[in-house]
Amino acid sequence: MRPLDLGLAVAVMAVWGSNFSVIAIGLEHWPPLLFSALRFALAFALLALWIRPPAQWKATILYGLCIGAGQFGLLFLAIDGWISPGLASLLVQTQVFFTIVLVSVLNAEAVPWRRLWGLWLAAAGVVLIALNRGGDASTLGLVLVLLAGLSWAAGNLVGRRVQGSMLSLIVWSSAASVPPLLALSLLFENPGTELFYSAPLSAWASLGWQAVGNTLFGYSIWAWLQGRYRAEVITPLALLVPVFGLLTAALWLGEAMPLWKLTASGLVLAGLGINMLLTRQSTAKTATTTTTTASKTPS
């Protein structure tokens, strides 16, 4: 991987990881469901005129419901006083394991035994967090973030059906995310127009970070890198997201990092690393098999 491209990839991971702390800053003013709705509305408004929508519109809408109303709606609710941003950045990565389990269930297949090592390590980390519930993570916060990870995993399965670029899917699915989030906000949060008049600069900056940083910069660069490199080359960099999430929460928000939290983080990251290593080996083996088969085919 070229040094410049690697630097861009790390920058994207830094943006995505630090976003959990940015969310916490924005939630000091915006109600969580309204904040999430505004995030997707702004992302859609900024890019919809420039990016062609995916052809599979039903899957795009379903993806928006899973990722927008599901993953981010639940995540914003959780960070709004129920779990610390650092732990949220770590726990939501359980989407990797939920994806494995969902694929196994849908295909009526057992989870490969080698992947169980990663699953058990990550589960041990989650259990350790659950045993240390308190100021950093309540029971509700833990459940909300795990449900957000499950919604993300469901979105992953839906997203595989959609042809085209990731950025196109993200932008146009954002339109499907806004109505349910806004409806739920009006029903439960009853936001008033004074929220917009009284919003401080930090609230607007946090909202802009969601649309411009996460979407415009993050997904456009990531989609470009996916077009240049194989998945097994760039996917392992996703391990940096919770690392940046924990670091920025500690540096920006003063989130404490006791030994139990560092241990739990190590267990979850080790589980993610094992899974990504196995995925990389499987992809490389498939590519080798395909190349070998093609070379034996008579022309």
DSSP string, 142-159: HHHHHHHHHHHHHHHHHH
**60-74, 174-188, 229-243, 275-289: range with lowest mean pLDDT:** 275-289
Q: How far is CA 185 from CA 5, 144, 192, in A?
A: 40, 17, 11
DSSP string, 178-246: HHHHHHHHHHHT---THHHHS--HHHHHHHHIIIIIIIIIIIHHHHHHHHHS-HHHHGGGGGHHHHHHH
Q: CA angle at residue 21 from 160 to 277, to 5 degrees?
A: 40
When the pLDDT of each residue in the chain is averaged and rounded to a whole number, the result is 87
Q: List the chain domain ranges.
A: 3-283
Q: Given pLDDT bands bounded at 50, 70 and 90, which one contains residue 278?
A: confident
Note the pLDDT tens digit of each residue in 143-189. 999 999 999 999 989 988 888 778 889 999 999 999 999 999 999 99
Q: How far is CA 138 from CA 69, 83, 249, in A?
A: 22, 6, 17
Give which of 221, 266, 253, 260 is closest to 90, Cα–Cα. 266
| CA separation for the pair 147, 143 (Å, rounded) | 6
In 3-state terms, what secondary structure has residue 83? strand
Largest CA distance in the chain: 72
Note the pLDDT tens digit of each residue in 5-56. 889 999 999 999 999 999 999 999 999 999 999 999 999 998 888 888 888 8
Global pTM reads 0.88
Q: Give me the residues paired with residue 137 across strands.
A: 83
* Paired tokens of 172: 């146009």
More confident residue, 198 or 165: 198
Give which of 102, 71, 100 is closest to 88, Cα–Cα. 71
Beta strands in the chain (DSSP E): none
* Paired tokens of 95: 């989407």
| CA separation for the pair 263, 126 (Å, rounded) | 11
Q: Given pLDDT bands bounded at 50, 70 and 90, which one contains residue 132?
A: confident
More confident residue, 73 or 220: 73
Give which of 90, 130, 83, 87 is closest to 271, Cα–Cα. 90
More confident residue, 131 or 234: 131
